[in-house]
């Protein structure tokens, strides 16, 4: 829908603000219609294979970006289809203060019409070297393959859960300039293909 604005008229003769009328008790009352704004939103996908200490996905908002990054959602998709012997793995979601040396990932804008270019200072990599800081929370799951029956409940349902806390009046994890986030494998294990799907927003 087209974005618009108005300057309130002096005599209520111009633009119409949308309201709904309800009868509550003996009163007809009006409730305004509003819509929830959204920041410029991007998806990024890291398709990885488990390896000890691998930073599967790192997002870093470098100095000079002129933007703030909001981490909105994180989905974990186990994409291991061939049979392997799975293990029990721990990954840590941590803040970072630098990020380099990995393979660059290219985010996809959710709205090609409205989205501005992602600042070059916002670096998203898999396999990066990063300076770690605070641990936010761990993730534990198996890297076992998807079964060919409906018994793959763990991975199938896990893929639909957003692992970033979100809710009413809850701040997203916010990355200001010089700040980042990484997901680091802690358990020493190899094998098992994963996809890390992150949705983030940008605001000036």
Partner 1 sequence: MAESYIQVPPNSTGSKVRTRSRVIGANTVHEQAVYQAALPTYYALADAVACAQNKHVISILNGTGSGKVVALKKLFIINTQLSTVTGVALRSDVKRMTAHSGGSTITPVAADTQNPSLAAQITVRSAATSVSESSLLFPLTYTNDEVGATQAFPTAQLMAGLNWFPEGAEVQEVRLREGEGLTIKQITNSTVGQFAWFLVFTVDDA
The span from the CA of 69 to the CA of 9, in Å, is 37
- Per-residue x/- track, 7-36, partner 1 (CB under 8 A): xxxx----xxxx-------------xxxxx
Interacting residues of 102 by C-beta distance below 8 A, sequence separation 6+: 55, 58, 125, 126, 127, 128, 129
Q: Is 121 exposed, middle or buried (0-12, 13-18, 19+ CB in 10 A)?
A: middle
Q: How far is the CB of 46 from partner 1 (least distance, A)?
A: 19
Any contact of residue 153 with partner 1 (CB under 8 A)? yes
Q: How far is the CB of 103 from partner 1 (least distance, A)?
A: 27
**DSSP reduced 3-state for 51:** coil
Any contact of residue 165 with partner 1 (CB under 8 A)? yes
Q: Say how many residues touch partner 1, by CB under 8 A.
A: 63
Any contact of residue 82 with partner 1 (CB under 8 A)? no
- The single residue among 145, 180, 181, 182 that binds partner 1, judged by CB under 8 A, is 145
* Largest distance between two CA atoms of the chain: 74
- Residue 177 has what DSSP assignment? T
Q: How far is the CB of 120 from partner 1 (least distance, A)?
A: 22
Any contact of residue 171 with partner 1 (CB under 8 A)? yes
The span from the CA of 177 to the CA of 119, in Å, is 11
- The single residue among 43, 51, 79, 95 that binds partner 1, judged by CB under 8 A, is 95
Any contact of residue 168 with partner 1 (CB under 8 A)? yes
The span from the CA of 54 to the CA of 189, in Å, is 10
- Per-residue x/- track, 38-77, partner 1 (CB under 8 A): ----------------------------------------
Any contact of residue 109 with partner 1 (CB under 8 A)? no
Any contact of residue 154 with partner 1 (CB under 8 A)? yes
Q: Is 154 exposed, middle or buried (0-12, 13-18, 19+ CB in 10 A)?
A: middle
Nearest to 86 by CA among 155, 18, 134: 155
List of residues contacting partner 1 (CB under 8 A): 1-10, 15-18, 32-37, 78, 86-90, 95, 134-142, 144-147, 151-158, 161-163, 165, 167-174, 176, 179, 187
């Amino acid at each position: 829908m087209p974005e618009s604005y108005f300057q309130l008229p002096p005599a209520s003769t111009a633009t119409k603000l949308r309201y709904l009328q309800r009868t509550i008790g003996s009163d007809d009352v009006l409730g305004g219609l509003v819509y929830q704004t959204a920041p410029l939103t991007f998806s990024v996908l890291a398709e990885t294979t488990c390896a000890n200490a691998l930073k599967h996905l790192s997002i870093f908002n470098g100095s000079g970006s002129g933007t703030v990054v909001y981490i909105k959602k994180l989905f974990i998709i186990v994409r291991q289809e061939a049979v392997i012997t799975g293990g029990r793995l721990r990954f840590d979601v941590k803040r970072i203060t630098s990020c380099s040396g990995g393979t660059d990932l290219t985010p996809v804008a959710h709205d090609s019409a409205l989205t501005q270019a992602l600042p070059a200072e916002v670096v998203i990599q898999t396999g990066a070297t990063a300076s770690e800081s605070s641990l936010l929370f761990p993730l534990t799951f198996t890297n076992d393959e998807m079964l060919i029956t409906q018994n793959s409940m763990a991975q199938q349902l896990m893929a639909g859960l957003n692992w970033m806390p979100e809710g009413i009046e809850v701040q997203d994890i916010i990355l200001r300039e010089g700040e980042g986030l990484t997901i680091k494998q802690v358990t020493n294990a190899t094998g098992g293909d994963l996809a890390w799907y992150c949705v983030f927003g940008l605001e000036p």
